[in-house]
Amino acid sequence: MATSYGQFCPLAKAMEILDERWTVLIVRELLLGSTRFNELRRGVPRMSPALLSKRLQALERHGIVDHEDGHYRLTACGRDLHTAVMSLGVWGLRWIEDFGDEDLDPHLLMWDVRRTVPTASWPPGRTCVAVEFTDLQRARRWWLVVAGGQVDACDYDPGYEVTATVRATLRTLTHVWRGDVSWERAMRARQVEIEAPRDVRRDVPDWFGRSMLADALAAQTAVSAG
Amino acid sequence: MATSYGQFCPLAKAMEILDERWTVLIVRELLLGSTRFNELRRGVPRMSPALLSKRLQALERHGIVDHEDGHYRLTACGRDLHTAVMSLGVWGLRWIEDFGDEDLDPHLLMWDVRRTVPTASWPPGRTCVAVEFTDLQRARRWWLVVAGGQVDACDYDPGYEVTATVRATLRTLTHVWRGDVSWERAMRARQVEIEAPRDVRRDVPDWFGRSMLADALAAQTAVSAG
DNA sequence: CGGTATCCACTACGATACTG
DNA sequence: CAGTATCGTAGTGGATACCG
């Protein structure tokens, strides 16, 4: 790596930068709005800080990232990667449905869920939803708190009244969040259980967002279908 | 490499496959129509045959490539990478204009030129155009022969009558082919010289194609501009 | 919080040669 | 033409500890 492909092809020049391990995932995190080092780390937890630092420096050197007062932000050049990154993600979503247990991670899932929660759809005031991964021992219970347009996800009981409890395996909820399967279908198959008063129960699925890629894929499929 | 990112994110799953060195360039070659092993090699000349073989096997294992009777062809899954690969290439074309001398390669350029020649624009019968890279010693002179809708590019004199001779540095002609600069502009700047009868000289630029990425970028820019 | 420093195992990659 | 075989090394990247 770090060596040139010896090709003038713009794709080759792009891949010289982007095909280094982890690099595209860091760009993804930046596109999703993370700017602090430790924020970025949460998005790529299996990466050592040393390596993350090194990659960020490389991205800065290539003019993709700007590092100022402790914030990493995409430059115009970096933001322009949006289309390509989405295309790659949509392709992955469409063609690589299966993933192994080693790809499941409740922290990562809740971190993702947290930042796609459509707070506007939630009731006014404070609302707390509990999530229980029925197949886990550790990191089994989570609480999602929305108040004043702010979201918090924590793995300890914050002590607020719980409006609804969502129960599913980690794999199932991951599939639902990715958009591989709808809430409705998962609930019909009894793979997801929502414990709450009936009227609340109907709303809960709308309180969760889903991956941007799921929306992008749906949009693309709708277009190509006519 | 070859290790999982430990993420369920479709982008991560995609990059597990695609961020291995050379892999995307091989997909590019397949998208451009190469199917034979040695044909693919011409598109990635700096790659050892052992590694190319290994990558092709990996692509086949992932269901991206189908290998049958000596032909490597993209599956539906592989063909669906078209959008993503183009996006990456367009990004590279837009933001990485500069490349070093080590990225210049007359063989690669002529191999690319050959397969984008719009034969329909050429005169009927046989036409032979000579290309001279004014800054090279070896691989300095090339001949492009179009006859019966077929194109040939060779680095030895095929012996046909030469209708026009194009002279430029390797770097200049590479820029023109990539679409960084137009024929018209390069000729006005005297960076490209076409030796031919006046009426032929006007047509020669249309006899050469240019990179698909140049067209894609132009299309994209046109849309966003208006 | 926001990184750097150091070390080491591993292996991917490139080069070259060779085979059916 | 279509790949395998072999080998050495450069360098990645993971782990751990440490610093400002």
Report how far residue A115's alpha carbon sits from residue A102's, in angstroms, rounded to the nearest whole number: 23
- Asked if B4 CB < 7 A from strand D, the reply is no
pLDDT tens, N- to C-terminus, chain A (226 residues): 557 899 999 999 999 999 999 999 999 999 999 999 999 999 999 998 989 999 999 999 999 999 999 999 999 999 999 999 999 999 999 999 888 898 999 999 999 999 999 999 999 999 999 999 999 999 999 999 999 999 999 999 999 999 999 999 999 999 999 999 999 999 999 999 999 999 999 999 999 999 999 999 999 888 887 6
Strand partners, B62: none
Report how far residue B89's alpha carbon sits from residue B94's, in angstroms, rounded to the nearest whole number: 9
Q: Is the pLDDT of residue B64 over 90?
A: yes
Q: Tell me B208's DSSP state.
A: S
Average pLDDT, chain B: 95
Q: Choose the mutation target among A7, A28, A46 for the interface with B, i.e. most B CBs under 10 Å.
A: A7
Q: Choose the mutation target among B88, B115, B221 for the interface with A, i.e. most A CBs under 10 Å.
A: B88
- Asked if B53 CB < 7 A from strand D, the reply is yes
Nearest CA in chain A to B63: A95
Give the distance, in angstroms, between residue A53 CA and nucleotide C5 C1': 13
Q: Tell me B137's DSSP state.
A: S
Look at A6 and B46 and tell me if their CB atoms are within 8 Å. Answer: yes
- C-alpha B95: how far from its chain's center? 18
pLDDT tens for residues B47-61? 999 999 999 999 999
> How far are the Cα atoms of A96, B85, B97 from residue A10, in angstroms, in the given order?
27, 11, 8
Q: Choose the mutation target among B31, B91, B171, B213 for the interface with A, i.e. most A CBs under 10 Å.
A: B91
Q: What is the pLDDT of residue A97?
A: 85
User: Which residues of chain A lie closer than 8 angstroms to B4, CB-CB?
Assistant: 100, 102-103
Q: What is the pLDDT of residue A30?
A: 97
Q: What predicted TM-score, i.e. pTM, was given to this entire model?
A: 0.95
pLDDT-derived band at B3, boundaries 50, 70, 90? confident
Q: What is the pLDDT of residue B226?
A: 60
Q: What is the pLDDT of residue B2?
A: 52
Give the distance, in angstroms, between residue A183 CA and nucleotide C1 C1': 38
For chain B, percent of residues with pLDDT exceeding 90: 93
Q: What is the pLDDT of residue B99?
A: 87
Lookup result for tokens 């989405």: A86
Single out the residue of A67, A82, A142 nearest to residue A112, CA to CA: A142
pLDDT tens for residues B118-149? 999 999 999 999 999 999 999 999 999 999 99
Count CA atoms within 13 Å of residue B83 on its CB side: 15
Nearest CA in chain A to B175: A8
> Which nucleotide is the nearest neighbour of B51, by CA and C1'?
C13
Look at A18 and B88 and tell me if their CB atoms are within 8 Å. Answer: yes
CB distance B196 to B166 below 8 Å: no
* Helices and strands, counts by H and E, chain A: 11, 7
Distance from the Cα of B217 to chain A's closest Cα (Å) equals 11
Q: Tell me B6's DSSP state.
A: -
Chain A and chain B share a number of CB contacts under 8 A equal to 180
CB distance A128 to A156 below 8 Å: no
Q: Is the pLDDT of residue B1 over 60?
A: no
Q: What is the pLDDT of residue A195?
A: 98
Q: What is the mean pLDDT of residues B32-38?
A: 96
Give the distance, in angstroms, between residue A127 CA and nucleotide C5 C1': 46
pLDDT-derived band at B215, boundaries 50, 70, 90? very high
Q: What is the pLDDT of residue A12?
A: 97
Look at A89 and B46 and tell me if their CB atoms are within 8 Å. Answer: no
Output Rg (C-alpha) for chain B, integer angstroms: 19
Output Rg (C-alpha) for chain A, integer angstroms: 19
Please tell me which residue lies nearest to nucleotide C1, judged from CA to C1': A38
Distance from the Cα of A69 to chain B's closest Cα (Å) equals 25
Report how far residue B104's alpha carbon sits from residue B45's, in angstroms, rounded to the nearest whole number: 12
Report how far residue A155's alpha carbon sits from residue A59's, in angstroms, rounded to the nearest whole number: 33
Lookup result for tokens 């291995």: B20
